[in-house]
């Protein structure tokens, strides 16, 4: 391989050494920004390294491969975008709880619009099983959270399925509101609240049979 391996000076490298966590977080932050701005393929590890003021090999040292780094980013996004849990209130009526629930969705979506859609968009990224697992875990967590908030005693698998479907409705509605701007927040709120109410009180029970 390279003839004069031993004679090469290999000097002049002035850099600052950081703790494992610091460097990790720093790279992760840069990667998060780039991955939410551009499609996966257009974000090169070279670009991430450059913006982090670091050599490309370091990314491999911390995250292994580019895909693994991407997965870490997506995981972070889903955790970040997860709805913050307020205490369940026993005195509220179902319609009230539903509206509260919807408001939480809308608040979260509005506050983290970019992040929110970046995480959702990541899903279609192919038939990547690992990525699918992450996004599904996020969906399931949301469903479980809805179940506690709505104080459902013993949720059936059917009800869970209905709520997962509903989360697809939430996603689509949020898109129309924040991205296409064909609905305003009040309209989106009404649509989502009434839909959820109908789904839970009316449609879901009618699906329960044999």
Partner DNA sequence: GGATCCTTTTGGCATGGCGCCAACAAGGTG
Partner DNA sequence: CACCTTGTTGGCGCCATGCCAAAAGGATCC
Among 3, 39, 86, 87, binds its own copies (CB under 8 A): 39
Q: To the nearest whole angstrom, how small is the minimum distance from the Cβ of residue 158 to its own copies? A: 7
The mark string for 166-185 relative to its own copies (x by CB under 8 A, - otherwise) is xxxx-xxx-xx---x-xx--
Is residue 29 a contact point for DNA (CB under 7 A)?
no
Residue 85 contact among its own copies, DNA, none, beta carbon within 5 to 8 Å by kind: none
Residue 30, token pair as written in the block: 């840069």
Using DSSP's 3-state secondary structure scheme, residue 13 falls into coil
Nearer to its own copies, 46 or 182 (CB): 182
Residues 61-120 that bind its own copies (CB under 8 A): 120
Instruction: Name every residue whose Cβ is closer than 8 Å to that of residue 73 and which is 6 or more positions away in sequence.
Output: 28, 31, 32, 35
Nearer to its own copies, 52 or 193 (CB): 193
Q: Which stretch binds DNA (CB under 7 A): 50-58, 116-124, 138-146, 167-175?
A: 50-58
Dihedral, CA of residue 147, residue 151, residue 157 and residue 159, to nearest 10: -80
**Angstrom distance (rounded) from CA 183 to CA 175:** 9
Residue 167 interacting partner from DNA, its own copies, none (CB closer than 5 to 8 Å by kind): its own copies
In the complex, what is the shortest distance from the CB of residue 66 to DNA, in angstroms, rounded to a whole number?
A: 4
CA atoms of 188 and 182, how far apart (whole Å): 10
Residues 6+ positions from 193 with CB-CB distance below 8 Å: 95, 98, 99, 102
Q: Which ranges of the chain does DSSP label H, i.e. alpha helix?
A: 20-37, 45-52, 56-63, 66-81, 94-111, 113-121, 129-149, 157-174, 185-198, 204-207
DSSP reduced 3-state for 4: coil
Residues that bind DNA (CB under 7 A): 1-2, 5, 8-20, 23, 43-46, 54-58, 60-61, 64-67
Residues that bind its own copies (CB under 8 A): 38-42, 120-128, 157-158, 160-162, 164-169, 171-173, 175-176, 180, 182-183, 187, 190-191, 194-195, 198-199, 202-203, 206-207
């Amino acid at each position: 391989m390279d003839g004069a391996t031993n004679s090469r000076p290999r000097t002049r490298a002035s850099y600052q050494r950081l703790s494992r966590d610091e460097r990790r977080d720093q790279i992760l932050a840069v990667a998060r920004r780039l991955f939410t701005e551009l499609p996966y393929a257009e974000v090169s590890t070279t670009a991430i390294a450059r913006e982090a003021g670091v050599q490309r090999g370091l990314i491999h040292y911390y995250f292994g491969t580019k895909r693994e780094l991407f997965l870490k980013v997506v995981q972070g996004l889903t955790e970040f975008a997860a709805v913050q849990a307020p205490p369940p209130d026993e005195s509220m009526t179902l319609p009230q709880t539903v509206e509260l629930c919807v408001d939480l969705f809308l608040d979260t979506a509005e506050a983290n619009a970019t992040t929110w859609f970046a995480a959702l968009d990541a899903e279609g990224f192919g038939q990547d099983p690992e990525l699918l697992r992450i996004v599904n875990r996020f969906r399931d967590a949301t469903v479980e959270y809805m179940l506690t908030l709505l104080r459902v005693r013993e949720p059936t698998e059917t009800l869970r399925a209905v709520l997962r479907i509903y989360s697809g409705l939430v996603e689509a509605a949020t898109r129309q509101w924040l991205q296409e701007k064909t609905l305003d927040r009040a309209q989106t709120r009404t649509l989502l609240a009434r839909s959820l109410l109908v789904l839970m009180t009316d449609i879901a029970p009618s699906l329960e049979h044999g």
